[in-house]
A = this chain, B = another copy of it.
Amino acid sequence: MRKRPYRNGEIWDFEAEMELSNNDSRYRQQAVILGLDGGTTSTVCVCIPFNYTCTDNNVNSEDGPLPEPPSVLARAVAGCSNHNSVGETAARETLERVMAEALLRSGSTRSAVLAVCLAVSGVNHPTDEYRILSWLRQIFPSHVRLFVQNDSVAALASGTMGKLHGCVLIAGTGTIAYGYTEDGRKARAAGAGPVLGDWGSGYGIAAQALTAIVRAHDGRGPHTALTNCILHALDLSSPDELIGWTYEDPSWARIAALVPYVVSCAEAGDQVANRILLDAVQELASSVKAVVRRLGLCGEDGTDHFPLVMVGGVLEANKRWDIGKEVINCISKDFPGAVPIHPKVEPAVGAALLAWNFLIRQSRKDAIRS
Contact = CB atoms under 8 A, between A and B. Distances in A.
A290 interface: yes
Interface stretch (A67-75, A152-160, A189-197, A322-330): A189-197
Contact of A218 (B84, B189, B218): B189
A264 interface: no
A348 interface: no
A220 B255 contact: no
Nearest to A194: B195
Interface in A209-225: 210-211, 214-215, 218-220
A192 B286 contact: no
A305 interface: no
A188 interface: yes
Contact of A197 (B187, B211, B255, B287): B211
Contact of A219 (B207, B255, B290): B290
B242 A192 contact: yes
| Count of this chain's copies in the oligomeric assembly | 2
B189 A210 contact: no
B219 A189 contact: yes
Given A124-B240, A240-B124, A195 B210 contact: yes
A357 B219 CA distance: 31
A367 B291 CA distance: 78
Contacts of A192: 211, 214, 242-243, 246
Contacts of A294: 219
Interface residues of A, number: 34
Contact of A214 (B197, B242, B255): B197
A27 interface: no
A210 B195 CA distance: 8
A175 to B, nearest CB: 12
Interface in A240-256: 240, 242-243, 246-247, 250, 255
A293 interface: yes
A210 B196 CA distance: 6
Contact of A243 (B196, B208, B210, B293): B196
Interface in A268-311: 286-287, 290-291, 293-294
A233 B220 CA distance: 35
A193 B211 CA distance: 10
B290 A243 contact: no
14 contacts: A84-B247, A190-B218, A192-B242, A193-B243, A195-B210, A195-B211, A195-B255, A196-B210, A196-B242, A197-B210, A197-B215, A220-B286, A220-B287, A250-B250
8 nearest A-B pairs in the assembled complex, by CB-CB distance: A197-B211, A219-B290, A189-B218, A220-B290, A196-B214, A192-B214, A220-B286, A192-B243
